[in-house]
């Protein structure tokens, strides 16, 4: 009887109807979500293919008014970079006509238009040469040639520049394709992708003879150009822009091959650049994590200091990358701790083959420390421009070491003169001591005088006072301390 009940339960028509309704409702929900997303993200319906193509082609030519607008925008950008004015640089980017030929390149590759591709490449080359020449003349003639932070920011392309160029290009071509072009998007992309400042920096680098600056800035411009063109190519392919038709089938095949080769020639450097900047990004990410987890927590017992802001992370794609850590003060990092750090580097994926360099100022005297910090300041001033905190730190470090350097004692000369002038003096010792009034630390010079046992107490007190005054005058330091050892 129980078996019959079970069979009746499993074959309950009400439950079957209920499950079918749930399944039907779920499918309906998925269909509604799919339709909503399709309506939200679909850009084909509101795209004017012919108007978009005509607008892009119209922006490719470079002559007359366009050339003068470019020259003026280059001058404005150069002045803004030289004056370290972000607002002026943004203004120059808004009026720059550099974007036209780049969009033309991407479109011509997408629709197999060899003639438009040729015009785009020619106009882009003319624009680049004119821009660099204008910037070069400005910086060569203009008397102020300071390496501002705005200029130097264009000499270090990284993965963020790749992403900005690609997504900026996507936004730009989508805005261009929309019926009733969104002008604000075009202006925003002009600012975000920043095509103009790198070319100005190329001219600046050539003007001052620093071809490393010029090369890195040109690389940044190349990244922006390639990835904007790539984004244009992809969007127009998705929108299914019609391919250019050729009457001669043989010519059509030849042009298709030429365009495909050109597209491949653009894609390969794009992939190579992206992989390189990605590897550098991962290396620096792991290096910063390593420093934060291993080096920063280390506590000095005396006055040692880890100069984190001046540590150098050097990525090298072809050889060995390195992490250079800089320490100053009178206390060094023990060799055992350094060995542990080197061992821990193996726990980070992108630091396995990297080298750890430790620079310790404690292993040299104050004069050498001062020299090193000055050299460091000179070599890294380009990194430090615009970074006020680092500059203040370096200045305080230089001031501290200058004070220590000023207190350098010519002890050999002092001891020889003291031996001649004070016949009861058995020996003279010297050391630097750190003194505090619980508000600040100060370094003072301390001399220790040991007097002969045969000397009388009255003579020792007199000569000790005389010796102390002589040391202050001789070394031009009123803070000098003198301690006495009198033998019984």
**More confident position, 246 or 53:** 53
Kindly report the pTM of this predicted structure.
0.57
Q: What is the pLDDT of residue 301?
A: 75
Q: What is the pLDDT of residue 5?
A: 46
Q: For 62-96, what is each residue's pLDDT tens digit?
A: 777 888 888 888 888 888 877 777 777 777 777 77
Q: How far apart are CA 190 and CA 6, in angstroms?
A: 72
Q: For 464-477, what is each residue's pLDDT tens digit?
A: 889 888 888 888 88
């Amino acid at each position: 009887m129980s078996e019959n009940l079970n069979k009746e339960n499993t074959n309950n028509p009400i439950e079957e109807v209920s499950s079918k309704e749930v399944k039907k409702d779920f499918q309906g929900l998925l269909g509604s979500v799919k339709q909503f997303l399709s309506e939200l993200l679909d850009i084909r319906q509101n795209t004017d293919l012919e108007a978009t193509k005509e607008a892009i082609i119209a922006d490719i030519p470079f002559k007359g008014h366009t050339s003068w607008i470019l020259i003026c925008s280059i001058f404005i950008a150069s002045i803004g970079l030289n004056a370290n004015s972000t607002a002026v640089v943004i203004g120059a980017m808004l009026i720059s006509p550099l974007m036209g030929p780049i969009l033309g390149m991407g479109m011509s590759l997408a629709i197999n238009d060899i003639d438009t591709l040729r015009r785009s490449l020619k106009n882009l080359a003319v624009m680049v040469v004119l821009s660099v020449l204008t910037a070069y003349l400005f910086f060569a003639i203009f008397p102020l040639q300071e390496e501002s932070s705005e200029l130097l920011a264009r000499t270090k392309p990284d993965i963020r520049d790749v992403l900005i160029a690609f997504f900026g290009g996507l936004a730009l071509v989508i805005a261009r394709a929309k019926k009733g072009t969104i002008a604000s998007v075009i202006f925003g992309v002009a600012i975000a992708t920043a095509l103009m400042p790198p070319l100005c920096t190329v001219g600046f680098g050539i003007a001052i003879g620093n071809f490393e600056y010029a090369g890195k800035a040109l690389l940044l411009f190349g990244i922006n150009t390639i990835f904007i063109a790539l984004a244009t190519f992809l969007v127009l392919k998705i929108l299914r822009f019609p391919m250019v038709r050729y009457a001669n089938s043989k010519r059509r095949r030849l042009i298709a091959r030429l365009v495909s080769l050109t597209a491949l020639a653009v894609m390969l450097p794009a992939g190579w650049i992206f992989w390189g900047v990605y590897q550098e990004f991962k290396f620096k990410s792991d290096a910063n994590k390593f420093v934060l987890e291993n080096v920063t927590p280390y506590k000095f017992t005396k006055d040692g200091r880890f100069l984190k802001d001046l540590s150098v992370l050097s990525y090298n794609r072809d050889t060995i990358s390195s992490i250079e850590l800089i320490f100053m003060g009178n206390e060094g990092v023990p060799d055992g701790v350094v060995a542990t750090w080197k061992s821990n580097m193996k726990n980070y994926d992108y630091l396995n083959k990297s080298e750890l360099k430790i620079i310790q100022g404690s292993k040299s005297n104050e004069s050498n420390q001062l020299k090193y910090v000055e050299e460091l300041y000179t070599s890294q001033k380009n990194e430090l421009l615009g970074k006020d905190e680092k500059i203040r730190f370096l200045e305080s470090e230089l001031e501290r070491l200058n004070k220590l350097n000023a207190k350098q004692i010519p002890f050999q000369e002092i001891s020889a003169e003291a031996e001649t002038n004070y016949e009861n003096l058995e020996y003279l010792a010297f050391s630097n001591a750190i003194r505090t009034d619980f508000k600040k630390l100060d370094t003072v010079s301390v001399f220790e005088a040991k007097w002969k046992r045969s000397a009388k107490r009255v003579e020792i007190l007199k000569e000790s006072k005389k010796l102390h005054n002589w040391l202050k005058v001789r070394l031009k330091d009123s803070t000098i301390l003198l301690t006495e050892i009198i033998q019984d």
